[in-house]
Amino acid sequence: MPGASVPFVIESDFLHTTRASYDAIATEYAELFREELAAKPLDRALLAWFAELVQTAGGGPVADIGSGPGRSAAHLHSLGLEVFGIDLSPQMVAFARLEHPHLRFEEGSMLALDLPDGALAGILANYSIIHVPDERLPEVFAEFNRVLAPGGHVLLAFQVGDEPLHRTEGFGKEISLLFHRRRPDAVAELLDQAGLGVHARILREPQREEKTQQGYLLARKPAEPAPR
């Protein structure tokens, strides 16, 4: 059938370029953002809120999807969560394992998570959906819904805007990264369509070197109804 291979081309292209780009800059990226959370009190507060919600709901495994060098996963671990990381870039995974040997980090794609249905109590996607094309985002959220247990929480962070940014250079190296800036209401609608109801929307103004507002969404998979 004409055009039948197009979805595969879109997926393989964006996954390949994202993986290759972060592999190329993994060490420099990790060093630059090593202490980033220390300068972002709102981000730390949101992670603490997310951790409390997961624990209050009974706890369980939490995946930091797009975990990069592992700083957010390590922070969630310090807050008492049973957390592990998943990242597309083998070099990012290797760095995270070296920096945080007490935690588990695996290679994987958020489009096809190697996890059973209902395996997670929570998902953190901290600036990791930003490289996913618009047409693939519903698949990502459907996958989040699949691996979350009833009552599980999702915390997303992303840059806010309407036009994507394409970067072809980073730390003096050739890369190809497309940053999809999105409006919180549009992302919230996609989450809702995937069965993940949004409970909070937060918009933060740019700080330090940021060029755009930053968006945060907290969503939850509905809990199973209580037996009668």
Q: Quick one: pLDDT at residue 103?
A: 98
Determine, yes or no, domain membership for 228.
Answer: no
C-alpha–C-alpha distance, residues 122 and 137, integer Å = 18
Q: The tokens of 92 are what?
A: 């990012």
**Would you put residue 59 in left (φ > 0), alpha (ψ -120 to 50) or beta?**
left
Q: Quick one: pLDDT at residue 206?
A: 93
C-alpha–C-alpha distance, residues 181 and 146, integer Å = 25
| Dihedral over Cα of 36, 134, 92, 48: its sign | positive
DSSP structure class, residue 134: G
Q: Minimal CA–CA distance to 114: which of 134, 84, 137?
A: 84
Helix (H) or strand (E) holding 113: none
Calculate mean pLDDT across residues 117-144: 97
C-alpha–C-alpha distance, residues 214 and 126, integer Å = 11
| Dihedral over Cα of 18, 19, 21, 22: its sign | positive
> Can you give the CATH number for the domain in which 194 is found?
3.40.50.150
- Above 90 in pLDDT, residue 227? no
pLDDT tens-digit readout, 85-113: 999 999 999 999 999 999 999 999 999 99
DSSP structure class, residue 109: B
Determine, yes or no, domain membership for 227.
Answer: no
- Above 60 in pLDDT, residue 135? yes
Tell me if 152 sits within 8 A of 181, measured CB to CB.
no
Determine, yes or no, domain membership for 225.
Answer: no
Residue 19: give the domain boundaries.
6-220
Q: Minimal CA–CA distance to 33: which of 78, 77, 92?
A: 92
Cα–Cα distances in angstroms (integers) from residue 124 to residues 8, 20, 140, 169, in the given order: 26, 23, 13, 27
Count of domains for the chain: 1
C-alpha–C-alpha distance, residues 128 and 172, integer Å = 22
Tell me if 133 sits within 8 A of 14, measured CB to CB.
yes
Q: Quick one: how many helices (H) and strands (E) in the chain?
A: 6, 9
pLDDT tens-digit readout, 58-92: 999 999 999 999 999 999 999 999 999 999 999 99
pLDDT tens-digit readout, 141-158: 999 999 999 999 999 999
Q: Phi first, then psi: give them for residue 88, nearest 5 degrees.
A: -75, -30
Q: Is 58 helix (H, G, I), strand (E, B) or coil?
A: coil
Q: Quick one: pLDDT at residue 131?
A: 95
Q: pTM score, two decimals?
A: 0.91
Determine, yes or no, domain membership for 168.
Answer: yes
Q: Quick one: pLDDT at residue 7?
A: 37
Determine, yes or no, domain membership for 37.
Answer: yes
Q: Is 213 helix (H, G, I), strand (E, B) or coil?
A: coil
At residue 9's C-alpha, the angle toward residues 164 and 190, to 5°, is 50
